[in-house]
Amino acid sequence: MCLTAQLAACKGRALGDACTYEQVVNGLCDPNLVCVPPGCGNAVVEANEACDDGNRVSGDGCTANCGSTEECGNGNVDEGEQCDCGRDDETRPPGCPTPNGDSTDAQCLSSCRLPRCGNGVMDPGEVCDDGNLTPSDGCNPTCTSTGACGNGTLDPGEQCDDGNLANADGCQMSCQLP
- Please give the Cα distance from 93 to 114 (Å, whole number): 13
- Please give the Cα distance from 27 to 45 (Å, whole number): 13
Q: Indicate whether this model's pTM tops 0.85.
A: no
Comparing 144 with 20, the larger pLDDT belongs to 20
Whether residue 4 has pLDDT greater than 60: yes
Is there a contact between 161 and 175 (Cβ–Cβ < 8 Å)?
yes
pLDDT band at 104 (very low <50, low <70, confident <90, very high): very low
pLDDT at 130: 84
% helix, strand, coil for the chain, step of 5: 5, 5, 90
pLDDT band at 94 (very low <50, low <70, confident <90, very high): low
Whether residue 136 has pLDDT greater than 50: yes
pLDDT at 105: 47
Beta bridge partners of 35: 29
Cα–Cα distances (Å) from 16 to 3, 42, 45, 46, 114, in that order, read: 18, 10, 8, 8, 39
pLDDT band at 90 (very low <50, low <70, confident <90, very high): low
pLDDT band at 99 (very low <50, low <70, confident <90, very high): low
Comparing 153 with 157, the larger pLDDT belongs to 157
- Please give the Cα distance from 86 to 72 (Å, whole number): 8
Whether residue 169 has pLDDT greater than 70: yes
